[in-house]
A and B are shown apart, each in its own frame.
Chain A
């Protein structure tokens, strides 16, 4: 199974990722000759569904792309359309949108850290097996996830596919007391998130660092959710309106999701590692301290440490939610008027898995003429293939079954949402 022989590593079903696809890796000795992240689910056609619909429908239609990160879709949609229409929102609405995003990050990161990713480090097949030996930890993880869902429900009207976000604001905004009811659970969640960062520092990580181009939003005053310039550690610094001038999307035969590259350079990485490395100074003190206590400092170049970085983002999300609730005064009106107007607008927001780009062109009747959506997993696809190419070579001497399992784990570090990119994953490692 090792040395110069050839072999195929094949995993037919990659578990604990969202969506459906496959991975194929062909190797001769320690040389990887082919890597394909195969996303074979049919395209979901959301961009086409949006054409001809009124812009007010976009947040509700795009929220249906994903049950885990619907808020990201709603936020990128409303911000892009508000830009297209020249609309300025109430500062209280802006604050509420940040709180909405805190809820999504908490539920999504809690799900990934404990339900999907932790079993890899603790040696379990899944969270059900893990729960038999780690009952208190899994119970706390469920409680943490629940507080995220609760925030989404209070602001968005329901936990999955929330309905309150609208271009110009919200259909309905919560009163102060509704948010105050979240405080005690959030205080518990903040403490448990700090415990989570400490716990991740006890895990064993493979020695695997790569020279990534990290791409994330950066805002002058805050850790990014809804606003900021798009920056990278390789000198990128652009407005969302320039995104399509600096990134290329291309179709590859083995994937129904388009691959993205930085024009003239290649693959890049979006998500928690990118945000943490590019915005460490914008984290609140409590999150920076939790990271320091766990010996986590930027730049983190080991993909497997993303579980620890997600935990730091849990600390941030809980602290930020508490800060916002303390400051919150309901807006004078839940939303501003949004008259029909011709325009084009782009926006990027930070979904739990990384940047999510939307562009809309709207005609004088408010109907969407064109829509473009570039989800984070789609953007990470090429980078996942690059990582597997390097990582499979590192594993050349490992028995086939273990190498295959390790490759699955590497993909899970990305928390890929293939349903968003279009939809599941099968891994085939072909060692010749």
Chain B
């Protein structure tokens, strides 16, 4: 299982994926951090059979809501933005799919954010959601290892 936390530590709730990766490490689970662009993210999941990406999302749901999407099913994502910097997870998934580099299983844990101001901490609801996601993934891995 390859676990990747994405985001920006310095932009409020956008830190969710990074903090989740750090929290997973504290729980003894290997987790990587992606702070680069779409190409880096594609490289990070390339070759994995099973991968999880954790990132902050905005869908209009209450802050801290945890969404889980399967990249091999139709995704509810719209194109991030027309700009180059806007080539985000949705584009990385679709480009990987076109290049046949998508892991057999890829799940996106989206943590709903509401505050993305520079230099601010994540809101309490997001901090709670990060803990929930980290524990859920660690629990899943624990169960898998027990079964194995």
Interface residues of A (CB under 8 A from B): 13-20, 67-68, 111, 115-116, 127-129, 131-132, 135, 138-139, 142, 145-146, 149, 158-160, 418-419, 424-425
Known: A20-B81, A116-B84, A131-B98. 4 other contacts (CB 8 A): A17-B82, A135-B100, A149-B36, A425-B82
A128-B94, A131-B99, A135-B98 known; A159-B84 Cβ under 8 A: no
- Size of the chain B interface, CB-CB below 8 angstroms: 19
Residue of A20, A142, A146, A160 with most chain B CB atoms under a 10 A cut-off: A142
Q: Is the CB of A17 within 8 A of B84?
A: yes
Contact of A419 among B43, B82, B85, B94 (CB under 8 A): B85
Bound-state CA distance A384–B77 (Å) is 33
Would you list which residues of chain B between 26 and 52 have a CB under 8 Å from chain A? Answer: 35-37, 39-40, 42-43
- Distance of A407 from chain B, by nearest CB (Å): 15
Q: Is the CB of B99 within 8 A of A13?
A: no
Q: Is the CB of B82 within 8 A of A132?
A: no
A131-B98, A138-B99 known; A18-B83 Cβ under 8 A: yes
Minimal Cβ-Cβ distance residue in B for A20: B83
Q: Is the CB of A17 within 8 A of B83?
A: yes
Q: Is the CB of B40 within 8 A of A159?
A: yes
Query: Can you identify 10 A-B contacts, CB atoms within 8 angstroms?
Result: A14-B82, A127-B95, A131-B95, A131-B99, A139-B99, A142-B39, A145-B39, A146-B43, A419-B85, A424-B83
Q: Is the CB of A19 within 8 A of B83?
A: yes
Contacts of B95 in A (CB 8 A): 127-128, 131, 138
- Distance of A229 from chain B, by nearest CB (Å): 31
Q: Is the CB of A419 within 8 A of B83?
A: yes
A149-B36, A159-B40, A160-B36 known; A18-B84 Cβ under 8 A: yes
Q: Is the CB of A146 within 8 A of B39?
A: yes
Minimal Cβ-Cβ distance residue in A for B36: A159
* B22 close to chain A: CB less than 8 A: no
Minimal Cβ-Cβ distance residue in B for A14: B82
Bound-state CA distance A14–B84 (Å) is 11
Q: Is the CB of B84 within 8 A of A149?
A: no
Q: Is the CB of A13 within 8 A of B82?
A: yes
Bound-state CA distance A142–B95 (Å) is 11
Contact of B84 among A13, A111, A146 (CB under 8 A): A111
Minimal Cβ-Cβ distance residue in A for B42: A142
- Distance of A416 from chain B, by nearest CB (Å): 10
Contact of B98 among A17, A132, A159, A424 (CB under 8 A): A132
Contacts of B82 in A (CB 8 A): 13-17, 424-425
Bound-state CA distance A142–B46 (Å) is 13
Bound-state CA distance A17–B81 (Å) is 10
Bound-state CA distance A16–B35 (Å) is 21
Bound-state CA distance A135–B100 (Å) is 9
Contacts of A418 in B (CB 8 A): 83
Minimal Cβ-Cβ distance residue in A for B10: A64
Bound-state CA distance A131–B94 (Å) is 10
- Distance of B11 from chain A, by nearest CB (Å): 12
* B91 close to chain A: CB less than 8 A: yes
**What 0/1 pattern do residues 73 to 105 of B give for CB contact below 8 A with A?**
000000001111101000100110011100000
Q: Which 6 A-B pairs have the closest CB atoms?
A: A131-B98, A15-B82, A18-B84, A128-B94, A132-B98, A159-B36
Contacts of A145 in B (CB 8 A): 39
Bound-state CA distance A160–B39 (Å) is 12
Minimal Cβ-Cβ distance residue in A for B94: A128
Contacts of B81 in A (CB 8 A): 20, 424
- Distance of B46 from chain A, by nearest CB (Å): 10
Q: Is the CB of A128 within 8 A of B91?
A: yes
Contact of A128 among B84, B85, B98 (CB under 8 A): B98
A142-B39, A145-B39, A160-B37 known; A135-B99 Cβ under 8 A: yes
Contacts of B87 in A (CB 8 A): 115
Would you list which residues of chain B between 97 and 116 have a CB under 8 Å from chain A? Answer: 98-100
Contacts of A13 in B (CB 8 A): 82
